[in-house]
Homo-oligomer: A and B are copies of this chain.
Amino acid sequence: MDTNQQKAVILLSGGLDSTTCLAIAKQQGYRCYPLSFDYGQRNHAELNAIRNIAQTLGAEEHRIFNLPLAQFGGSALTDTAIEVPDYRDTDDIPVTYVPARNTIFLSIALGWAEILGARDIFIGASAVDYSGYPDCRPDYFASFQHMADLATKAGIEGRNFQIHTPLLDLSKADTIRQGIALGVDYALTVSCYQANSDGQACGRCDSCYLRKQGFAQAKVADPTRYVATIATS
């Protein structure tokens, strides 16, 4: 292990984007500390998939942080009373929006980064097919980074934080192409908002739709295991 390498915390959901983001951080030479969250929505198949990805991509240390967001409800991803909708083409913010989710995730990543002595945090957000989430926009990440420097001992001592968003301007197809070039095995990843207990994807939610379309546009065979199939445009 080269201890001169800088450490980075990488938010890892186990989906296509965050897995590619981890591969990019690794390729850039960082010692990678993936951070995942279990906010009540994950089944064992998904948690095992995430552990497998972290291990396969050579993480130094992987943490799965329990975050009981379900007690607040308010999103189809945290509240079982709200159904995950099928994909539809709209500019509205969908019911899968989890209020302040990226802010909560980045804040906890910031805390861990400061403890590790890391100054770099990676998040696999995409502004191109960002599903209308406000906390996936470039202005938001810039403001978080500014706040992080004011919030921390490291920041006020001049060791500034950097929020890396290497996928921000990539389409899903470009992300897949980049991941394939880095040797990512997308069969390990699960993007579906409601994967079943075997890790099979629904094939109907926004996340499945965008993923499926991405593989088609990248002209890469889709390794996803679906329980149902949908047409891609």
Please give the residue numbers on chain A whose beta carbons come within 8 Å of chain B beta carbons, in ascending order. 63, 65-69, 71-74, 93, 97-104, 106-108, 110-112, 114-115, 134-135, 137, 139-140, 143-144, 146-148, 150-153, 155-156
Contact = CB atoms under 8 A, between A and B. Distances in A.
Chief secondary structure at chain A's binding surface: helix
Nearest to A111: B100
B103 A99 contact: no
A140 B68 CA distance: 26
Contacts of A137: 150
Given A97-B153, A144-B147, A156-B134, A107 B103 contact: yes
A152 to B, nearest CB: 6
Contact of A135 (B69, B99, B151): B151
A103 B151 contact: yes
A65 B39 CA distance: 12
B110 A147 contact: no
Contacts of A112: 72, 99
Contacts of A108: 100, 104
A112 B139 CA distance: 22
7 tightest A-B contacts by CB? A74-B115, A100-B111, A99-B114, A143-B147, A140-B150, A107-B107, A100-B110
Nearest to A114: B99
A107 B148 CA distance: 12
Contacts of A139: 150
Contacts of A100: 107-108, 110-111, 114, 148, 151-152
A134 to B, nearest CB: 5
A103 B110 contact: yes
Contacts of A66: 66, 68
A153 B134 CA distance: 6
Contacts of A151: 100, 102-103, 134-135, 140, 143-144
A24 to B, nearest CB: 24
